[in-house]
């Protein structure tokens, strides 16, 4: 077992399907990092907080309410770390630090005529620090944006540390609400590593399941597998302008969220519910495969390593396998990194870098002018 220090990572993503908490041991910095997960659990958002988060994302809260939600989420994140510690018999004060991504309620990676690039993740780090009794690293995206980057994706640094291989071209694909990939050409040259959001991951599928079946997600892709393709709907999704933009690029609810999905569901409402879920799932998988073929710059891909909630959608993975044959498709679990808690573990790695005053970004993945130390730190005393 890794003899490093104990740390907790918290991740709540764009899919809003819960708060992932992982506790692991970590040692070393940079390429010497070793991380070993001890335990992890996903905690559902309390309904009233989930509703407030949705309102914040849809720009329906005033400044006072946003401020209140920032503190509420800080308390909630502290509570879930304490709950996991209690369930596992871990003394909270034995945690060297907590790394909390926070809940993204707004992210604009590139400027437009009205707004500068900016990002906002809620969940006050100081509250977590006081509740758990340890240092907290949070607010990970701003430093990269200050250096001219899009603030996303940040996990490629971790992908490089954990998965770069001398002899294999690998693509690491995380399928959360949004799907993002890290391209790791064989060898260990960070200048050749790049990453971007391919487009929708689970976000549109989950919204369709919520509207059509009153369920939060398609368990194992069973509903998708039972339907048939609506060609016109597939073509409309594939025509989304984001999909042809050149990397680096990042996507979110602004492109593929509730408003966009609901418009499509309403337009194609006379088709069967199963066919709608099938087509949205199929199209989401095709956007991933198409982005990999179009933008990966690799002559061949030895392995596609999948993590996130989408790793459990058997139908989605089947489509990926068909479209990317003969690439071998694995889940990160098969390489000893939990696909369920990969991002929570990733922020432990990044937080560890921050506390050691080491960089944790790769400029070729975000478009920044230089690598930076990510995150703000609250020291507990």
Residues 166 and 307 in one domain: yes
Residues 171 and 290 in one domain: yes
302, 317, 335 - which closes a domain: 335
Residues 298 and 351 in one domain: no
Residues 201 and 216 in one domain: yes
* pLDDT digit string, tens, across residues 277-297: 999 999 999 999 999 999 998
Give the count of domains, the chain: 2
Residues 321 and 370 in one domain: no
For residue 175, is pLDDT > 90? yes
In 3D space, the residue among 190, 229, 242, 210 whose CA is nearest the CA of residue 362 turns out to be 190
For residue 2, is pLDDT > 70? no
Residues 142 and 169 in one domain: no
Residues 52 and 199 in one domain: no
The pair of three-digit structure tokens given for residue 201, joined into one six-digit string: 């991951």
* pLDDT digit string, tens, across residues 193-244: 988 899 999 999 999 999 999 999 999 999 999 999 999 999 999 999 999 9
For residue 146, is pLDDT > 80? yes
pLDDT of residue 31: 86
Residues 162 and 304 in one domain: yes
SS3 for the chain, per residue?
A: CCCCEEEEEEEECCCCCCEEEEEEEEECCHHHCEEEEEEEEEECCCHHHHHHHHHHHCCCCCHHHHHHHHHHHHHHHHHHHHHHHHHHCCCHHHCCEEEEEEEEEEEECCCCCCCCCEEEEECCHHHHHHHHCCEEEECCCHHHHHCCCCCCCCCHHHHHHHHCCCCCCEEEEEECCEEEEEEECCCCCHHHCEEEEEEECCHHHHHHHHHHHCCCCCHHHHHHHHCCCCHHHHHHHHCCHHHHCCCCCCCCHHHHCHHHHHHHHHHCCCCCHHHHHHHHHHHHHHHHHHHHHHHCCCCCCCEEEEECHHHHCHHHHHHHHHHHCCCEEEEHHHHCCCCCCHHHHHHHHHHHHHHCCCCCCCHHHHCCCCCCCCCEEECCC
The domain of 261 spans: 156-335
Q: Which residues contact 120 (CB under 8 A, 6 or more apart)?
A: 104, 105, 106, 107
* pLDDT digit string, tens, across residues 79-116: 999 999 999 999 999 999 999 999 999 988 788 888 99
Q: Provide the CATH number for the domain around residue 235.
A: 3.30.420.40
pLDDT of residue 347: 97
For residue 152, is pLDDT > 90? no
For residue 18, is pLDDT > 80? yes
pLDDT of residue 65: 98
Residues 182 and 208 in one domain: yes
What's the mean per-residue pLDDT of the chain?
Answer: 94
pLDDT of residue 264: 98
Residues 127 and 35 in one domain: yes
Residues 262 and 303 in one domain: yes
320, 335, 350 - which closes a domain: 335
* pLDDT digit string, tens, across residues 125-143: 999 999 999 999 999 999 9
Query: 319: pLDDT confidence band, cut at 50, 70 and 90?
Result: very high
pLDDT (mean) for 355-378: 94
Residues 62 and 28 in one domain: yes
40-44, 165-169, 200-204, 339-343: the lowest-pLDDT one? 339-343
For residue 15, is pLDDT > 80? no
């Amino acid at each position: 077992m890794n003899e490093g220090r104990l740390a907790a990572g918290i991740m709540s993503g764009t899919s809003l399907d819960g708060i992932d908490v992982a506790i692991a041991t970590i040692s070393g910095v940079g390429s010497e990092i070793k991380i070993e997960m001890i335990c992890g659990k996903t905690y559902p958002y309390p309904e009233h907080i989930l509703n407030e988060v949705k309102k914040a994302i849809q720009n329906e809260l005033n400044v006072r309410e946003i401020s209140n939600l920032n503190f509420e989420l800080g308390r909630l994140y502290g509570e879930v770390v304490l709950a996991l510690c209690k369930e596992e018999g871990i003394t909270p004060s034995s945690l060297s630090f907590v790394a909390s991504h926070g809940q993204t309620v707004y992210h604009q990676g590139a400027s437009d005529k009205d707004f500068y690039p900016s990002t906002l993740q809620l969940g006050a780090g100081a509250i977590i620090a006081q509740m758990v009794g340890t240092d907290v690293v949070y607010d990970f995206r701003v430093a990269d944006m200050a250096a001219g980057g899009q603030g996303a994706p940040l996990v490629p640094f971790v992908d490089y540390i954990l998965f770069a291989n001398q002899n294999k071209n690998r693509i690491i694909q995380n399928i959360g609400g949004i799907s993002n990939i890290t391209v790791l050409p064989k060898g260990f040259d960070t200048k050749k590593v790049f990453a971007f959001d391919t487009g929708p991951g689970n976000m549109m599928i989950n919204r369709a399941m919520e509207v059509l079946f009153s369920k939060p997600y398609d368990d194992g892709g069973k509903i998708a597998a039972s339907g048939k393709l609506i060609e016109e709907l597939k073509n409309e999704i594939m025509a989304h302008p984001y999909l042809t933009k050149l990397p680096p690029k990042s996507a979110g609810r602004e492109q593929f969220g509730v408003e966009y999905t609901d418009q499509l569901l309403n337009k194609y409402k006379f088709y069967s519910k199963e066919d709608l879920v099938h087509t949205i799932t199929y199209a989401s998988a095709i956007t991933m495969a198409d982005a990999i073929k179009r933008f990966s710059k690799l002559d061949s891909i030895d392995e596609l390593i999948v993590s996130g909630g989408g790793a459990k959608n058997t139908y989605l993975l089947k489509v990926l396998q068909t479209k990317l044959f003969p690439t071998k498709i694995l889940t990160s679990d098969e390489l000893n990194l939990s696909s369920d808690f990969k991002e929570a573990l990733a922020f432990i790695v990044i937080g560890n870098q921050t506390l050691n005053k080491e960089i944790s970004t790769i400029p070729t993945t975000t478009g920044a002018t230089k690598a930076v130390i990510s995150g703000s730190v609250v020291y507990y005393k």
